Amino acid sequence: MVPTDLPGGTTSHSAPHKTAPARVPTRPHPARGIPPGADTIDWMRAVVVGAGVMGAWTALWLRRRGHEVTLVDRYGPGNRLGSSGDESRITRSSHGSDTHYPRWQRRALAQWRELESAAGTKLFEPAGVVWLASEQQTFEADSLVSCGSLGIPMECWTPDDLARRIPVLNPAGVPWALFEPEGGALFANAGVVAIVERFEAEGGTVVVGRVPGPVAEARDAIGRVRLDDGRTLEADAFVFACGPWLPDLFPAALDELIVAHRQDVLHFAVPAGDSRYGPRSLPVWIDFEGSFYGFPTFDGVAAKACPDWLGPVERPDESAREVAESTVEASRRILRTRFPGLADQPVVRRWTCFYEVTPDANFVIDRHSRLGDTWIAGGGTGHAFKHGPIIGEFLSALVTGDSQAAAELAPPDDRFSIRAREASPSFRTSGKNPLEAARS
């Protein structure tokens, strides 16, 4: 749908969120497992399993609340085998008509920038994000309204604007575009490493080891976890943020709530010396209806361009982690239409990652229904990375019983709860494979 009124961007002047310093513990928690409705806990031992973006930020926030925190990962922080292990992730405010996720994204981006400053490492490229609209759906128009209501800058571009602003893009068939001038790219691997380094610098402990599954779920609390090398970790609270491994760890609780899909990631060589593919000229781009997205080149060598339709269902420990040649060919066909200068370029980097998908595309952030000391964070559904700081902040409030802080960050509904859910549209793209649709 093309908006009839194309307003210019509005500006938000909200102050950046400042993270809280660590507090000195005032009293130990007397019992394992924090009951629902308990007062805020001043001190406890917490174990966070999974050092991707959700687990790492949760560990850091728990540590900043003054708790004794151990972060466990089977491969070590910053590895490329989970859902957070890639070069880049998109940060953007548009989520259709939803207004909760845009609020989270803005607050999270402020924390990413704070971490960037503290780490002295570039974690954010403010290239902007452009959505290529279509007549088939209203995601961009709904986002224009919802983000506008929150004072988030948005711009509407005509096809002529697209051609002028992004000369390497072919705007044919695009009726208009939505541009987010304050969006861009987060550097995923570097970001996770920076979080964990900050966590360790602030007194947290990192352990490399595997928690074998499945977890025994028919009891009141975990109390301790035993790693596969025999080491035992005792704690008052446990957070499992294990991405695509969560369904294997908690089959009873999660059942079909989280399903792991292998996603193929491709980086195409950019024409040598062509600066038009750099972040000063090419923003992050998303074709919602075409289920395709891409980034500018950050190294002058290659640009990431990938399909967003769901790949095959695979268990991460059984996946061959090989990019399908059919994905490469489908990507080239789409690029010939939209970015013809990339379509026949060599694929210089390829690997696989995972989307852990929920039916309604909302995350899982909830206490286990039986295990009173256990919390689960996952179901990122391909759009969680940018929200990592707020997921950690929110979950740390829930785990420690800080009801006031949790209420300030909570959504207006039960979207994050562990329950049966009905299928609903994605917050990323349509999820349709346009090539399969054309054949049918």
The residue count for the chain: 440
Domains in the chain with CATH codes = 45-439 (3.50.50.60)
| Contact call for residues 78 and 192 (beta carbons, < 8 A) | yes
- pTM greater than 0.85: yes
pLDDT of residue 434: 66
pLDDT of residue 439: 57
**Other beta carbons less than 10 A from residue 20's beta carbon:** 12
pLDDT of residue 437: 56
Q: Which residues in the chain come in under a pLDDT of 70?
A: 1-39, 434-440
pLDDT of residue 14: 33
pLDDT of residue 24: 29
The pLDDT tens digits for 395-435 are 999 999 999 999 999 999 999 999 999 998 888 887 788 66
| Contact call for residues 50 and 208 (beta carbons, < 8 A) | no
Distance CA 356, CA 379 (A): 5
pLDDT of residue 40: 77
pLDDT of residue 297: 98
